[in-house]
Structure 1
Amino acid sequence: MTDASGDRVPIEAQSVLAPLTRSAIFLVVTIREGTAAADIARDAVTGVSDLVKSVGFRDLDARLSCVVGIGAAAWPLLTSQPMPAQLRPFTPIGGPVHTAVSTPGDLFFHIRADRFDLCFEFERLLLSALDGAVDVADEVTGFRYFDARDLLGFVDGTANPVGSELVGDVIVGDEDAPYRGGSYVTVQRYVHDMAAWRALSSEQQEAIMGRTKADNVELDDAPAGTQSAHKTLATITDPDGTEHGILRDNMPFGQPGAGEFGTYFTGYARSPQTIDRMLLRMFVGFPAGAYDRLLDFSTPLTGSTYFVPSLPVLEGLAVEAPDLT
C-alpha cells in the first residue's frame, strides 16, 4: 500500500480504512490519576487486537474491529516515546453564533461491526479490562440508517476519498517517520433539532446541504462572498487547487422516546489541521460571518482529538512505559 507520493505505508496500520459497517460504538474515556490507572489503561489498549480476535471469531463475516486513539494528555502517561508531531488537544472554535466545544477525552475507541451484539460484547470486555482505571466521558451507539443517510435525510460521507487518495489523505507518511502508518481522528457528537429542520422545505434543506435529498446530486456553489452550503464549507482546498480530504465514518444515533436525534462525527485525517480548517470554515464562516447554516439545526455537545498509532506502535507501548513515580 502506498500514499499519494508513492511512499509505502506499513500494512500494520489500525483498521482506520475499514469499510462502513451497520453498527458502531463510540467510546471516550478519561484515565484516572496514578501509576496504577495508567498501567491498567496501557495493558488494555495494547491488548485490543487480541480482544478483537477473541470476540470476532464468532462471526468473521461481521468484520469486528476497534480503532484506538490516544489524546495529548494521555500520551505521556502511556509511553516514554516522543509525542506525535501534530498531536494536541482539540481547540474550541467560537463563531458569531455557534461554538465547536472541546470536552475531556484521553482514549477513544471506535468499535465497528455488522452485528451490534459483537460491538456490545467487545465493549463489555474492554471496560472490564479498564475497570478501576478510567471514567466514561462519552458513550454513543451508532447505526446505519437506510442507504448510509443521516437522520436529516441526506446521504453522509459522499465526499470521502477513494483509491490512492484515501491513503494519502488519511495515513501519516514520512513527514513524521516514527509514526508512519498512523492517523489523527477528531470526534464530535451533534444533536439535531428535528422539528425545526422538518419545518423547512426540501428545497431549503438542499440549499443548506448543497446536495439534492433524493438522489444525492451535488448542487452548484453559491456565488463567491455569499452564504455557502455545508458541502462547500466542508471542502478544504489550497490556493493552488490542491484538495485535502478526510475520511468520515459518521453514524446516526438517537432515542425517539427521549427526543434525541443526532450524528456522531468521526473524521480521520493525515493531519488534524485539515479538520481544524474545515470546522473553522463551518463555525466562523467563509467569508467570516457566513457560517454553515446546518449549525442552526445541529449542535455539537462534544469535541476531542486523538492520534491513532499503527499496530506496532500501539502494541509497543507495553515496553515503552514511562516512569511516573
Structure 2
Amino acid sequence: MARRVPIAPQAVDAPLTCSATFIVVTISRTAPDAVSTVRSALASVSDLTKNVSIRDLNASFACTVGIGAEVWDELTNGLPRPAELHAFKEVKGGKHIAVLTPGDVLFHIRAERRDLCFEFERQLMDLLGDAVEVVDHTVGFRYFDVRDLLGFVDGTANPVGQAVPQATLIAAEDDGNAVGGSYVVVQKYLHDLRGWKGLGVERQEAIIGRTKLENIELDDAGEEEQKAHKTLATIEDEEGTEHDILRDNMPFGNPAASEYGTYFIGYSKKLWVTEKMLERMFVGVPEGKHDRILDYSRAVTGSTFFAPSADVLDGLGE
C-alpha cells in the first residue's frame, strides 16, 4: 500500500505578532499576461518567505495567501473548487451593513518586526508589478496586552493547541478537494472612538460582554434582551456543538487623520460559521437586536478567500 504523503498547510496558525500587513488586490484586466504573472508570484511566496525570514529566525515571520472565488478557476488552472467557496455575502441588517468589496487575492503578512513585513511586501510587489491593483493596504500593530483600540482584549475566544487545526484546516472527510486549506474572511472596521469613550466603562462592558480591565466574561443577557458581542459571535449548530474560528485581528490607525480601526480576519474550515457570526451581529438575535458594537464600529470592506495548502500554492507555477 502506498504511503499517504502529508499535505502541508499554509501558516494559518502562525502566532499573533507585533506587526501585520493585510494586502488585498484585484487582477488587472488590461495588463498583458496578468493572470500568469500573479500565478507565478503566488508560487514564489514560499521562496520569498525564506529570503526574508532568514534575517531573523526569532521574528515569527509568515505570509498566508488567500484566493477569491471569482479568480479561483483561472489562477489555479482549473483545480477543483473548495465546496463552500463563494464571494463575500453582504449582510443587511435593520441599521448596519456588512459590505461587499472587491478582492481577488489576499496577503496576510506578519512578523515581530515591521521591517521584515516591509521587505517582504517590497519583494512581493516587485514580482506582481502591473498585474494587480491594490484595493486595500492596512498595517496593523499589537496594542498593549493584545487589546483593540476600543480598549478590550481581542481574541479571547480563539481556539488553542490542537483545537486550532481542528477549527481552521479542512480534512479529507470535510472536503477531499480542499485538504489542508482554510476559508478566510476579512473586514476593515473604522471606530467612532469619541462616541465610544462617551459611553462609560460599564456600558462598554455590557456591549462587549466582558470586563474591560480583567477581561472576565459577563453573564449572558436574557432571551429577548440585547445580546453582547461575545454572545452573538459564539456559533453553535443545531446539535448544540460550538464551532470556533481563529481571529488574527489587528488594530490600525492614524491619529493625525482621526482614523482608528480594527482589521478583522477570521480563518475557519467551515465558511458558514463565520457567515453565521456576521449574520447574528448585523441582523441580530432576535432580528432587529443587532450587535451594539456596530453603532461605534463601521465595516468599510468585506471579502472572502480560500487559503489553499502550501503544496497547492507552490505548484501554481508548474
Shorter-chain TM-score tier: over 0.9
Q: 1:77 and 2:68 equivalent?
A: no
Q: Equivalent residue of 1:268, what SS? A: strand
Give the gaps of 5 or more residues in structure 2: none
Does the CA-based 8 Å contact 2:80-2:177 persist in structure 1? no
Quote how far apart the aligned CAs of 1:241 are. 1.9
Q: Map Cα deviations across residues 19-57 of structure 1 (whole Å, 9 max, x no partner).
A: 110000000000012660001000000100000111111
Give the gaps of 5 or more residues in structure 1: 1-7, 320-325
What's the TM-score, normalizing by structure 1? Answer: 0.94
Quote how far apart the aligned CAs of 1:164 are. 2.5
Equivalences for residues 114-153 of structure 1 within 5 A: 114-153=112-151
- Map of 2:171 onto structure 1: 173
What's the TM-score, normalizing by structure 2? Answer: 0.96
Name the CA distance, whole Å, in 1 between partners of 2:232 and 2:263: 19
Quote how far apart the aligned CAs of 1:9 are. 10
Equivalences for residues 1-325 of structure 1 within 5 A: 10=6, 12-33=8-29, 36-78=33-75, 79-174=77-172, 175-319=174-318
Query: Cα–Cα, structure 1 residues 200 and 10, in superposed 2: closer, same or farther, change >3 Å?
Result: farther
Give the CA RMSD over aligned residues: 1.3
Quote how far apart the aligned CAs of 1:315 are. 1.3
Letter in 1 for 2:80: P
Name the CA distance, whole Å, in 1 between partners of 2:177 and 2:43: 18
Q: Map Cα deviations across residues 130-158 of structure 1 (whole Å, 9 max, x no partner).
A: 00100001000000000000000000000
Name the CA distance, whole Å, in 1 between partners of 2:276 and 2:46: 33
Does the CA-based 8 Å contact 1:10-1:181 persist in structure 2? no
Q: Map Cα deviations across residues 229-271 of structure 1 (whole Å, 9 max, x no partner).
A: 0000000012322000000000000000000000000000011
Q: Map Cα deviations across residues 261-286 of structure 1 (whole Å, 9 max, x no partner).
A: 00000000011110000000000001
Q: Equivalent residue of 1:25, what SS? A: strand
Quote how far apart the aligned CAs of 1:178 are. 2.5
- Map of 1:3 onto structure 2: none
Q: Equivalent residue of 2:290, what SS? A: coil
How many matched pairs?
312
Letter in 1 for 2:315: G
Identity %: 57
Name the CA distance, whole Å, in 1 between partners of 2:196 and 2:214: 19
Name the CA distance, whole Å, in 2 between partners of 1:186 and 1:40: 25
Quote how far apart the aligned CAs of 1:85 are. 1.1
Letter in 2 for 1:224: E
Does the CA-based 8 Å contact 1:188-1:303 persist in structure 2? yes
Quote how far apart the aligned CAs of 1:167 are. 1.4
Q: Which runs of 4 or more aligned residues in structure 1 lie more than 3 Å from their structure 2 counterparts after TM superposition? A: 8-11
